[in-house]
Amino acid sequence: MKIAERLENLPTYIFATIGKRIAALRAAGVDVIRLDIGSPDMPPPDVVIATLNEAALQPENHGYAGFYGDPEFRRAVAHFYQRRFGAALAPESEVLALIGSKEGIQHLPTAFLERGSVVLVPNPGYPTYSNPAVLVGAELYQMPLLRENDFLPDFDAIPAEVLRKARVLWLNYPNNPTSAIADLDFLVEAVAFARQHKLLLAYDNPYSEVVWDGSQPPSILQVPGAMDVAIEFNSLSKLANMAGWRVGMVVGNVEAISAIARVKTNSDTGIFRPIQRAAAVALDLPASWYTERNAVYQQRREVVTRALDRMNLWYAPYEATLYVWAEVPPQFASSAAFTEELLEETGVSVSPGSAFGEYGEGYLRISLVQSEELLREALERWERWLLRKALRMVGKQ
Ligand SMILES: Cc1ncc(COP(=O)(O)O)c(C=O)c1O
């Protein structure tokens, strides 16, 4: 057997690695609390599950569902974008159904990048913007997301020779992993920048409805003229607690959607129709459903931030996403050293900031995907462990 050389440049997906270690610890009897991956623990609303069940009982719903998405699902996406963002989309040409947004994100490099071309990626950032691009031979240009810039990239800092080769600009707000929110003014700037440098602006917006600070995070499609240069990914995973269902969408510029569809139609054969029917219902949930769901995240975040306050650790101040982005306690050499020791010694798993890129070093990401009770338990274990370590240090002096 000979494995292709290109795989040497492809790191194992971080959560696959963490997941293996956790499985081994659990098999050894350790009670692990997972605050690393961002998989919502709450279910979607009953009406969504009932729609899936009903549609699954219909004999005609079990064949291949079509490549681009069920017309009903694509209309529901267009309706959601109209209602939520005031953006008008043609369901048949400006909306494409995806097997979760990760599927479309990983197709994008095949459609737009090649050897010698550059993709501008946020750092820290979601790893799928980078790794599939490396597979097609493209170069990555890392845009640092720094605390002092509110975790927004500085477009002026990107060298002209990079911009000459650049084809794609990735942006993601509300942001994973930092939880930062961008306002419409920043998106206006981003669209102008993409237009000036002839870039495809790929805006990733899966946390658009996971926010509780009273703001409504914008869509890139709210920027006048964005349809000329931009596409937007969104997904039912975080929007309606449907991460395991694998259903999402990419919307926007016709040419870009059709290029991604060309790759996609050669690699899969559509999403189970009952899932699309249920997702269409989920896209039409009343605002009150989000308010109630987000209130749970808000309370969980408070449990975490109160503990971080007690430990005197800085955290990003944004009330959005499933994550708290916090600094690593100063006595640890790296974020990975901290998270490994925390897991091995307390059974609490959080993500090291370095898993999201070099500019994530010094930070860690805590996911709000466990009950308040478990979060409290996890943070108590963490605090007690730090205290014990501190006491041991004092004892040695
Ligand atoms: C920023 C970002 N984009 C995309 C995804 C992929 O989500 P999905 O494939 O479940 O739609 C995630 C998942 O965590 C994410 O955090």
Q: What is the mean pLDDT of each run of 10 residues along the chain (397 residues)?
A: 85 81 94 94 97 98 94 98 98 98 97 97 96 94 98 98 98 98 98 98 98 93 98 98 98 98 95 98 96 98 98 97 97 94 96 96 98 98 94 79
CB 107 near ligand 1, within 6 Å: no
What CATH number was assigned to the domain covering residues 5-43+287-396? 3.90.1150.10
- Does CATH number 3.40.640.10 belong to domain 46-282? yes
- Where, residue-wise, is CATH 3.40.640.10 in the chain? 46-282
pLDDT of residue 213: 85
- Where, residue-wise, is CATH 3.90.1150.10 in the chain? 5-43+287-396
pLDDT of residue 60: 96
pLDDT of residue 263: 97
pLDDT of residue 96: 98
pTM of structure: 0.96
CB 234 near ligand 1, within 6 Å: no
CB 170 near ligand 1, within 6 Å: no
Q: Ligand 1 mean position to 276 CA, how many Å?
A: 18
pLDDT of residue 392: 84
CB 181 near ligand 1, within 6 Å: no
pLDDT of residue 14: 78
pLDDT of residue 72: 97
CB 123 near ligand 1, within 6 Å: no
CB 124 near ligand 1, within 6 Å: no
Closest to 209 measured CA to CA, from 301, 128, 129, 322: 322
Q: Which protein residue has the closest C-alpha to ligand 1 atom 13?
A: 38
Query: Ligand 1: which atom is nearest the Cα of residue 235?
Result: 11
Cα–Cα distance measured from residue 133 to residue 96, given in angstroms and rounded to the nearest whole number = 21
User: What letters, b where the CB count within 10 A reaches 16 and e where it falls short, cover 305-342?
Assistant: bebbeeeebebbebbbbbbbbbbbbeebeebbebbbeb
Query: Ligand 1: which atom is nearest the Cα of residue 247?
Result: 11
Sequence-separated (6 or more) residues with CB below 8 Å from residue 316: 147, 151, 178, 179, 180, 324, 325, 326
Q: Which protein residue has the closest C-alpha to ligand 1 atom 6?
A: 102
